[in-house]
Amino acid sequence: MQYRTLGRTGVQVSTLALGAMNFGAIGRTTQDEATAIVDAALEGGINLVDTADMYSAGESEKMVGKAIAGRREDIVLATKATMPMGDDRNHQGASRRWLVTELDNSLRRLGVDHVDLYQIHRWDPKTSDEETLSALTDLQRAGKIRYFGSSTFPAYRVVQAQWAAREHRLSRYVTEQPSYSILQRGIETHVLPVTEEYGLGVLAWSPLASGWLSGAVREGREITTNRSKVRPQRFDLAVPANRTRLEAVERLAKVADEAGLTLIQLALGFVTAHPAVTSAIIGPRTSEHLESQLAAADTVLPSDVLDAIDEIVAPGVDLAPDEKMDTPPSLLDPALRRR
C-alpha cells in the first residue's frame, strides 16, 4: 500500500480508502460481513474509512462504529452530512442548526467522540458559506472534528468557499471528494486544477464507475453489479450513452490484458496516477470484492498505458454527463434562471 499526505494537513492516508456506502440496506451487507471487510482492509494497509450519515439512513455509520471498536486510533475516520435524514425539512442542508445536531448523531452512531474528517456531502445553495464554515470551525475548536472538507462541489464553489474562509477568518475546507474514473474525467478540466491550486486533498469516489470498470458490465454477459438493481436506467444498453460506455470498457479491457493487469487494477491505477488525487475510495460489498480491489494497492501505470487510456476516453471528457452531481442548480431548475 502507498501513502500520501492528505492535502496540507500532514496526515498520511492510504491511496486506497474504504468507502462504507454498501454497509447495511444499500448493499445488503450484514454486520459480520462489514466487520470482515474492515478487518481485511486494515490488514491490507488501508487506514482511511469513509462513510456518511445518509448511507442506509445511519446504518452504515453504526456498522462502521462496531467494526472499528477498539482500534479507533489506527484509523482516519471520515463521515459526511447535508443529505436529507427523514422528512423534516430542517433535517438536511448545511445550516449551523443542522450540522451541530447531525454531527452529534453521527458521533453517537459511530460510537466515537470525534471524527477526523467531516464533509459537506453536497453544496447547499440555501446556506451561505459563512454560516457553514463558522459552524464547522466551531465544531473543530470544540474537538469534535479534526478537519473538514467538501464533496462533489463544482470548481467555482470550491474557490468561493476558500475565499469566504479567508474573508471571514474561518478554518477552510482541506479536502474535496469528487466522482472520478476513466469514464468520468470531467473534473480534470476545472476541479482538479483548483484543488491543486489550493492544496486540497482529493478523495475520489466511484473510481470503478458504479461497476462499469469492475468487470461486471461486459459485452454479451449478464450485468452483475448491484447498482444495476438500484438504478437500472444507468445500465440499460439500449441507451446510446451506455452503449458508448460499454464500447469504451471493451477497449479498456484489452489495454488491461495487454499490460498484464485486471480491469480493476487499470481503473484504480488510473485514478491514483493523477497528481491531484490523494486516495481512491473503493466501496466493496463483499470480501471478494475487497480482495480484487486491494490487488491494485501498488499498481503504477506506465506512460504508454496511460496514453492508451487517453486514446479511448480523452482527458476532461465525461461519457455519462447526465450522471454528474455537481451541476449548478440553475441548469436543473428553470425557475432559477428565469424571471
Q: Is residue 336 part of a domain?
A: no
Q: Is residue 68 part of a domain?
A: yes
Q: State the pLDDT at residue 243.
A: 92
Mean pLDDT of 302-319: 96
**What is the rounded distance in angstroms from the CA atom of residue 170 to the CA atom of residue 301?**
39
Mean pLDDT of 41-51: 98
- Which CATH number covers residue 94? 3.20.20.100
Per-residue pLDDT band for 321 (boundaries 50, 70, 90) equals confident
114: its cell numbers: 470525534
pTM of the model: 0.93
Q: Is residue 134 part of a domain?
A: yes
Q: Is residue 335 part of a domain?
A: no
Residue 170 CB contacts under 8 Å (≥ 6 apart), including other chains: 130, 133, 134, 136, 137, 164
281: left (phi over 0), alpha (psi -120 to 50) or beta: beta
Residue 331 CB contacts under 8 Å (≥ 6 apart), including other chains: 337
Q: Is residue 86 part of a domain?
A: yes
CB 63 within 8 A of CB 28: no
Is 331 a residue whose pLDDT tops 80? no
Q: What are phi and psi of 246, to 5 degrees?
A: -65, -40
**What is the rounded distance in angstroms from the CA atom of residue 331 to the CA atom of residue 41?**
40
Q: Decide if 55 is catalytic.
A: yes
**DSSP label at 115?**
E
Q: Is residue 339 part of a domain?
A: no
Is 322 a residue whose pLDDT tops 90? no
Per-residue pLDDT band for 224 (boundaries 50, 70, 90) equals confident
Q: Give the lowest-confidence range in 173-177, 271-275, 310-314, 332-336.
A: 332-336
Alpha-carbon separation of residue 63 from 9, 16, 44, 250 (angstroms): 27, 20, 20, 36
Angle separating helix axes 263-273 and 303-312, nearest 10 degrees: 100
CA 42 to centroid of chain Cα atoms? 19
CB 268 within 8 A of CB 296: yes
Angle at 118 between CA 172 and CA 134, to 5 degrees: 45
CB 122 within 8 A of CB 325: yes
Of 3, 55, 118, 198, catalytic: 55
Q: State the pLDDT at residue 178.
A: 97
Computed over every residue of the chain, the mean pLDDT equals 94
Closest-CA residue to 50 (of 39, 40, 60)? 60
**DSSP label at 339?**
-
In 123-276, the DSSP E strands lie at 145-151, 175-177, 201-204
Q: State the pLDDT at residue 225.
A: 78
Give the domain extent around 189. 3-330
**DSSP label at 275?**
T
Per-residue pLDDT band for 179 (boundaries 50, 70, 90) equals very high
Q: How many domains does the chain have?
A: 1
CB 98 within 8 A of CB 61: no
**What is the rounded distance in angstroms from the CA atom of residue 288 to the CA atom of residue 224?**
14
- Greater confidence (239 vs 48) lies with 48
